[in-house]
Every structure is written in C-alpha cells, then in structure tokens.
C-alpha cells in the first residue's frame, strides 16, 4: 500500500488515501447526505437544577442522535465541525473502508473548525454500534461526544420496540460542572471513573413500555473508563448479541461484563403488571446502582420471547486456525519514555503505557511504523498478553475477531471488535485480515489510549 506522507495528508495529496481528504470536502456540497451531524458545544442539564456548561454533542441542542442504517445499504454522513478545535469521527465496530474510519492522520486529516467531511460506507454487519471522535478523544468524549449507531438486520426479528441505551458517566461536581477529566495517577493504573452515571444523558431515567411486550434493549457502554457488571432485574431478559454479533444461544441477562466500547442486545419480555418494574442495574462492590427503570404500562400484549426470530450471524470470515500465523502483542507499562508530542488532537502530556514496549507518540502526521503487517486474506492468531495488573479493553478497527482461549478463564467463542483483557491475562483471538489499510489498535480506556497504549496494524496485499 502507498504510505501517506505528511505532505499527502496536509495537501490532500496524490495518494489513494489522500484523495479522500479533498473528495470528502468537495462531494459534501454536491448533494444532501443521508445523515448529518454537527459537532458543537452546548450547555445542558444533567444533574437536577443545574446546567452543565461546555458539553459537546453531535447535535446543537441535545444528546447525540441515534443513527439508524440498514445492513448492506450505502449511506452518507456529513460531519460538520462547529467546535473551536479539530475533531474527527470514528464508527466503532464497523468493518468499512479504511479511508472512512476516522482516525487522525492514519486515515484522514482531522476535521478542523468550520470544516466538514462526508463519510460514505456500506455497513456489512447488522447490530448495535456507536460513534465517537478520535481527536482530543479524552476531553471530547468526556464532554459528551459518544453516540449510538444501529444497523438494522435484513429481516425484522419481531420486537414491539427498540430502545437504545447509551450508558456512560460524566465527571461532574455537585454544582453540575465538569471537574478534571482524569487524574494522572489513575491514568497510570485502572483509569479515572466518572462521578455521575447516565443513560441517554439522563440520571436514572424511567421508560414506559407496553406491558407484556417484547423490547430490544440495546446497551452501549460508551464510557471512557468503567468496566462494569450489568444485570436486568425483573421480567424475562436474555442477551441475544454482544458487540453487534448474535450469540449462538441466548443467555440470561445476569452478570454481564461490559467494558468501554462494548455493546449488548437484550431481548426483554416486559412483565404483565404495572407494579412489576424492570431495572438495568450496575453491580458494584460498594453498592449496586439502578441506571434505568422500565415500567410496564397498559393491558398486557401477552407476547413471548420465543416468538422472536433468531438473529442471523454477520458475514465475518472464519479464520483458518490450522494455517494461522501467531503474532504476539504485549500490553504493559511504558519504558522510560518521552511525553507524547503536542498535536492538534491533543495530548495528556504523559506516557505510561506501551504495546510491544513502544508507546504511541501521539496523534501526529507520522508516518509511523505499524506494530505488525498482515497479509490481505490470511488468517492470524493475535496473542494478546497483558503484563500489567490492570484490565484493558483492547479494540481493533476494521476487522472483527473471534475469542479463542485465555490462560485465566473459559471463554465463550464470541466474535467481537473489543475484548476485555484481564490483569495479567493472555488471550488468543483469531481473525482473517480481509480489510486492507492501517487499522488503529488500542485500549478503550481512553486515558490508557492517550498515554501510550495505542498502535496500528497494517493489512496489505
């Protein structure tokens, strides 16, 4: 593949990928896109009787919109940047062309103030996804820039209602204003937790649902730090998909561990009687927290879970394990390193983490070397080895992988884009390198991502 030079990126260049920079800008004016997002600052009430200043959203007047696409159908999304800093948007979990992946310099020039960029792609997989910036990521996500994206199946599974639940914390003081987005000493360990848990930007919201109906709860953990254990109490609730990939067999919605970036689709059969509420509960050592309540309303529809059509698997290729090459990636502390270099996409000013003992130098024009180069079409086993005493949700852009085995636990054979790597765990995952390009590979605890735990894999013919 052609390497992008700094000049290519800055000038729109002549490279194959560089052409998208200008292509995106020009075509945006030609015809209205299917969707449009404006990245903007706003003041918005999160805590009662307060207005949080300096929030950021993908809409000028409220929480990020839920984008609904159809599997196999081409879509276009215009993103305009009304912030007074650069940004760029990544579509988490979508296996789309590299030039549409929204990673600064690796795939496109950041979208600067007042500029817009048109993303165009055809989602190959159905399920629950999300989107977020990949520029000044810690601050922009902390201020609110995490939205949900739903790709509908070809065949409607038969729910009465579809309810996206964007689960995340904010770091707010009692006055409802942002406090420091992170603490350096936490960034060097497990990460800094938020102070206020929200669902769709609301604290402990209540949703009215038709009694006896079938509801698809779409959980997306878009928080920057929190690895949580979730459960649905009341009703009948089964997990039917994780990270947009259907489970071969549904499992009860109990003890469901989700880390930043992960999603779960839950089929809920709402109780028949109004006095039997259902809750989405975050289980915590220091006290469980009900994140949302669902109230049955009206005469029971008397539906049953078995009336739902099972979700069809996504067309993710199966790795050929017998011929797969094993590649090891070690996640650990950073060797004594320089602080990341300043960038228009921000830096926290520290280096704490590394992959294969190299810390990411920051979101810079590069060019940088990939952690590994994979041959297009070949099968690989990535051996993810965590040398640190902290957990890391490891995320790969552009391709999905299957969990194979761990040295610590029995794993379900899930297909995913984000795998929680426990402390000192070694996890083998398998993939087919079927999507060419430079694919970001990083921890989704954003403090880790921004202090070294980032790199990229190159897939080339």
Binding span for ligand C2O by CB under 6 A among 38-46, 294-302, 353-361, 436-444: 436-444
57-65 contacts at long range (C-beta below 8 A, 24 or more positions apart): 57/144, 57/145, 58/131, 58/145, 58/147, 62/201, 63/144, 63/147, 63/166, 63/200, 63/201, 64/37, 64/131, 64/144, 64/145, 64/146, 64/147, 64/148, 64/166, 65/37, 65/147
To ligand C2O, the closest distance from the beta carbon of 109 in angstroms equals 17
Q: How far is it, in rounded angstroms, from Cα 389 to Cα 410?
A: 20
**Binding flag, residue 448, Cu ion (CB under 5 A):** yes
Given the complex with Cu ion, which of 95 and 448 has the nearer CB atom? 448
Map 314-349 to HEC letters: CCCCCCCHHHCEEEEEEEEECCCCCCCCCCCCCCCC
298: tokens are 């009206």
SS3 11: helix
To ligand C2O, the closest distance from the beta carbon of 261 in angstroms equals 5
Binding mask 390-429 for Cu ion (x = CB under 5 A): --x----x--------------------------------
Given the complex with Cu ion, which of 266 and 391 has the nearer CB atom? 391
Is the previous residue joined to 297 through a cis bond, with omega within 30 degrees of 0? no
Binding span for ligand C2O by CB under 6 A among 30-38, 197-205, 302-310, 437-445: 437-445
Size of the site for Cu ion (CB under 5 A): 6
Given the complex with ligand C2O, which of 104 and 235 has the nearer CB atom? 104
**Binding flag, residue 90, ligand C2O (CB under 6 A):** yes
Binding span for ligand C2O by CB under 6 A among 17-25, 160-168, 419-427, 439-447: 439-447
Q: How far is it, in rounded angstroms, from Cα 433 to Cα 380?
A: 7
**Binding flag, residue 397, ligand C2O (CB under 6 A):** yes
Q: Nearest CA to 400 among 124, 135, 65, 29?
A: 124
To ligand C2O, the closest distance from the beta carbon of 120 in angstroms equals 19
366: tokens are 């590069």
Q: Nearest CA to 87 among 56, 113, 64?
A: 113
- Picked from Cu ion, ligand C2O, none, the partner binding residue 392 (CB below 5 to 8 A depending on kind) is Cu ion
**Binding flag, residue 92, Cu ion (CB under 5 A):** yes
**Binding flag, residue 362, ligand C2O (CB under 6 A):** no
**Binding flag, residue 440, ligand C2O (CB under 6 A):** yes
Give residue 287's Cα distance to chain centre.
27
Binding mask 118-157 for ligand C2O (x = CB under 6 A): --------------x-x-----------------------
Using CB under 6 A, which of 44, 216, 442, 450 touches ligand C2O? 442
To ligand C2O, the closest distance from the beta carbon of 449 in angstroms equals 7
State the DSSP code for 254. Answer: S
- DSSP bridge pairs for 164: 218
To Cu ion, the closest distance from the beta carbon of 186 in angstroms equals 12
**Binding flag, residue 263, ligand C2O (CB under 6 A):** no
**Binding flag, residue 226, ligand C2O (CB under 6 A):** no
| Cβ atoms of 121 and 91 closer than 8 Å | yes
Binding span for Cu ion by CB under 5 A among 67-75, 163-171, 175-183, 440-448: 440-448
Map 348-416 to HEC letters: CCCCCEEECCECCCCCCCCCCCCCEEEECCCEEEEEEEECCCCCEEEEECCCCEEEEEECCCCCCCCEE
Q: How far is it, in rounded angstroms, from Cα 30 to Cα 22?
A: 13
**Binding flag, residue 263, Cu ion (CB under 5 A):** no
Size of the site for ligand C2O (CB under 6 A): 10
Strand pairing of 214-221 and 161-170? parallel
Given the complex with ligand C2O, which of 64 and 261 has the nearer CB atom? 261
Binding span for ligand C2O by CB under 6 A among 201-209, 324-332, 405-413, 438-446: 438-446
To ligand C2O, the closest distance from the beta carbon of 412 in angstroms equals 22
Given the complex with Cu ion, which of 129 and 159 has the nearer CB atom? 129
Q: Nearest CA to 403 among 245, 224, 240?
A: 245
Q: Nearest CA to 58 among 76, 74, 79, 43?
A: 79
Residues that bind ligand C2O (CB under 6 A): 90, 92, 132, 134, 261, 395, 397, 440, 442, 444
Q: Using CB under 5 A as the criterion, which residues of the chain lie in contact with Cu ion when the complex forms?
A: 92, 392, 397, 443, 445, 448
């Amino acid at each position: 593949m052609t390497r992008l030079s700094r000049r290519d990126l800055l000038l729109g260049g002549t490279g194959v990928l560089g052409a998208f920079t200008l292509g995106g800008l020009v075509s945006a004016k030609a015809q209205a896109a299917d969707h449009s997002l404006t990245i903007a600052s706003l003041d918005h009430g999160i805590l009662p009787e307060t207005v949080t200043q300096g929030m950021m959203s993908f809409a000028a007047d409220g929480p990020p919109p839920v984008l609904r696409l159809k599997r196999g159908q081409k879509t276009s999304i215009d993103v305009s940047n009304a912030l007074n800093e650069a940004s760029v948007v990544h579509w988490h979990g979508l296996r789309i062309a590299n030039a549409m992946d929204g990673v600064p310099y690796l795939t496109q020039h950041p979208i600067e103030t007042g500029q817009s960029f048109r993303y165009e792609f055809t989602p190959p997989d159905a399920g629950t996804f999300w989107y977020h910036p990949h520029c000044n990521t810690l601050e922009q996500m902390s201020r609110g820039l995490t939205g949900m994206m739903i790709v509908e199946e070809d065949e409607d599974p038969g729910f009465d209602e579809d309810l996206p639940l964007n689960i995340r914390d904010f770091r707010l003081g009692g006055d409802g204003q942002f406090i420091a987005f992170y603490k350096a000493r936490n960034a060097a360990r497990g990460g800094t937790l938020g102070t206020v848990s929200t669902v769709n930007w609301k604290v402990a919201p209540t949703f009215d649902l038709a009694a006896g109906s079938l509801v698809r709860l779409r959980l997306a953990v878009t928080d920057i730090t929190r690895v949580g254990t979730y459960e649905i109490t009341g009703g009948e609730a089964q997990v039917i998909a994780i990270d947009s990939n259907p489970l071969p067999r549904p499992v009860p919605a109990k003890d469901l561990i989700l880390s930043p970036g992960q999603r779960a689709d839950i089929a809920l059969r709402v109780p028949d009687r109004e006095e039997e509420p259902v809750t989405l509960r975050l289980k915590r050592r220091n006290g469980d927290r009900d994140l949302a309540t669902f109230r049955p309303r009206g005469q029971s529809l008397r539906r049953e879970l078995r009336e739902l059509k099972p979700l069809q698997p996504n067309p993710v290729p199966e790795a050929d394990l017998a011929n797969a090459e094993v590649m090891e990636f070690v996640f650990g502390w950073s060797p004594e390193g320089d602080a990341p270099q300043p960038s228009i996409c921000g830096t926290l000013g520290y280096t704490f983490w590394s992959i294969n003992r190299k810390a990411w130098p920051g979101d810079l024009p590069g060019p940088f070397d990939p952690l590994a180069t994979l041959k297009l079409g070949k099968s690989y086993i990535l051996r993810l080895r965590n040398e640190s005493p902290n957990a890391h949700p490891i995320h790969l852009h552009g391709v999905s992988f299957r969990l194979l085995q761990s040295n610590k636990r029995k794993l379900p054979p899930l297909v995913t884009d984000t795998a929680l790597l426990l402390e000192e765990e070694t996890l083998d995952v398998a993939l087919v390198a079927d999507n060419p390009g430079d694919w970001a590979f990083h921890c989704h605890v954003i403090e880790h991502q921004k202090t070294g735990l980032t790199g990229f894999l190159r897939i080339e013919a």
